[in-house]
Structure 1
Amino acid sequence: MSGGGTLTFTELKLFLRDPASTIATVALPVAIVVVFGVIAQPAGDADPIMTYFPTMALALGLAQLALNLTPTTLAGYREKGILRRMSTTPVHPAKMLTAQLAISVGLAVVAAVLVTLVGHLGFQFELPQHVPGFLAAFGLGCAALFSMGLLVAAVAPSARVATGVGVGLFFVSLVFGGVFMPAETLPPFLVRIGDFTPLGATMQSLRDSWGGTMPEPLHLAVLGGYTIVAGLAAAKLFRWE
């Protein structure tokens, strides 16, 4: 196994030793689908609101990973001097960032698969009807949200600050992103604001593709813009110590 592969495997084992992280990123989205599946009983119901429940679970888990866990972990490693010590070894600290991102994206994919299968097989939620659109929405959503998380990790001086900023962004994103409540029930100005937030654009793109249409170009462009701007800013501002 290569050095990067070994590091990724080690980081994954460390992550799995923390039950709270596993519950927040994988078990919670599945539990949300189960709860709403029992309440809504979606079998045979073509109401567009039914695209809200599984995509809300996916968006919630993705936001937890990108805005809460990733920046806190990376800022904590820098605060403890782990990244600085790694910079003096053949294992460059950039490999730590790669390992963390690989684990986070992998967990997001696992959560997406479980949410989709449990929702469909257990409660007859529809599968994503526009598969290319769903893959585009999920991929760009991951890229945009993790770019934001890396930017928080880049500028936060400590794990405590990263946690505070990440939690703040997380809850603001839930309110304006149409995650707390379906977009159909929100005032139009909140929906419009959500169109220009990374989580809101992700949520609406996932719902569109789940319902059978290609995500709106505006939402995909917003996600691409956040990926480029936040990603470049994170790369420029990130400090190893």
Structure 2
Amino acid sequence: MSGTGTLTFTEFKLFLRDPGATIATIGLPVAIVVVFGLIAQPGSGTDPIMTYFPAMALALGLAQLALNVTPTTLASYREKGILRRMSTTPMRPARLLTAQLLISIGLAVAAAVLVVLVGHLGFRFTLPQNFGGFVAAFLLGCAALFAVGLLVAAVAPSARVATGVGVGLFFVSLVFGGVFMPAETLPPFLVRIGDFTPLGAFMQSLRASWGGTMPEPLHLAVLGGYTIVAGLAAARLFRWE
């Protein structure tokens, strides 16, 4: 096994020792689908609002992982001097960052698969009708949200600050992104603001692809823009010690 592979496996075992993180990233999205599946009974109708529930579960889990878990973990490693000590060994700190990203992406994919399968097989939520659009939205959403999360980790001087900033962004994103409540029930100006947030663009892209249409170019462009801008800023500002 390569050095990066060994480090990824070790970091994954450390992640599993924190049951709260596992529940938040995988258990919570699945639980949301189960609860709303029991309440809404999606198999009994074709109301477009039904695309909200599985998309919301995915968006919530990914946002939790990207904006809360990842920044706090990396900032705590910097604060404890782990990155600085690694810089004196052949295991470069960049490999730790790669390992964290691989774990996060793997968890996001696992959560997505479980949400889709549990929702469809258990409660007859429809499968994403535009599969190509769903994949594009999911991958761009992951890239955009993790880029923002890494930017938080890059500028936060401590794990406490990273947690505070991440939690603030998380809850603001839920409100403006059409996650806390369906876009159909929000004032138009909030929906418009959400179109230009990474979580809002991600949520609307997921719902569009779930309903059978291609995500709007605006939403995909917003996700791509956050990926590039936040990703470059994170790379430029990130410090290992």
Band the TM-score falls in, shorter-chain normalisation: over 0.9
Name 2:147's counterpart in structure 1.
147
What amino acid maps onto 1:94 in structure 2?
Answer: A
Deviation for aligned residue 1:70: 0.2
Give unmatched runs, 5+ long, in structure 1.
Answer: none
Name 1:45's counterpart in structure 2.
45
Deviation for aligned residue 1:35: 0.2
Deviation for aligned residue 1:48: 0.4
The TM-score with structure 2 as length reference comes to 1.00
5 Å-filtered alignment, 1:166-205, equals 166-205=166-205
Partner deviation per Cα, 1:182-227 (whole Å, 9 max, x = no partner): 0000000000000000000000000000000000000000000000
Distance 1:91 1:129 in 2: 44
Matched, 1:116 2:116: yes
Name 2:33's counterpart in structure 1.
33
Distance 2:218 2:90 in 1: 43
Name 1:64's counterpart in structure 2.
64
Distance 1:44 1:147 in 2: 39
Partner deviation per Cα, 1:56-89 (whole Å, 9 max, x = no partner): 0000000000000000000000000000011111
Name 2:99's counterpart in structure 1.
99
Distance 1:42 1:148 in 2: 33
Name 1:217's counterpart in structure 2.
217
Cα RMSD for the two superposed structures: 0.4
Distance 2:240 2:181 in 1: 39
Deviation for aligned residue 1:45: 1.2
Name 2:4's counterpart in structure 1.
4
**Residue identity (%):** 86
Distance 1:45 1:167 in 2: 36
What amino acid maps onto 1:86 in structure 2?
Answer: M
Give unmatched runs, 5+ long, in structure 2.
Answer: none
Please identify runs of 4+ aligned residues in structure 1 that moved more than 4 A. none
Partner deviation per Cα, 1:135-166 (whole Å, 9 max, x = no partner): 00000000000000000000000000000000
Distance 1:86 1:131 in 2: 41
Deviation for aligned residue 1:16: 0.5
5 Å-filtered alignment, 1:81-96, equals 81-96=81-96
Name 1:23's counterpart in structure 2.
23
Distance 1:222 1:172 in 2: 17
Distance 1:205 1:80 in 2: 39
Name 1:80's counterpart in structure 2.
80
Partner deviation per Cα, 1:104-142 (whole Å, 9 max, x = no partner): 010000000000000000000000000000000000000
What amino acid maps onto 2:86 in structure 1?
Answer: M
**Stretch of structure 1 that moved more, 204-213 or 37-46:** 37-46
Deviation for aligned residue 1:232: 0.2
What amino acid maps onto 2:12 in structure 1?
Answer: L
Deviation for aligned residue 1:44: 3.6
Deviation for aligned residue 1:6: 0.1
What amino acid maps onto 2:168 in structure 1?
Answer: G
Name 2:127's counterpart in structure 1.
127
Distance 2:23 2:59 in 1: 15
What amino acid maps onto 2:105 in structure 1?
Answer: V
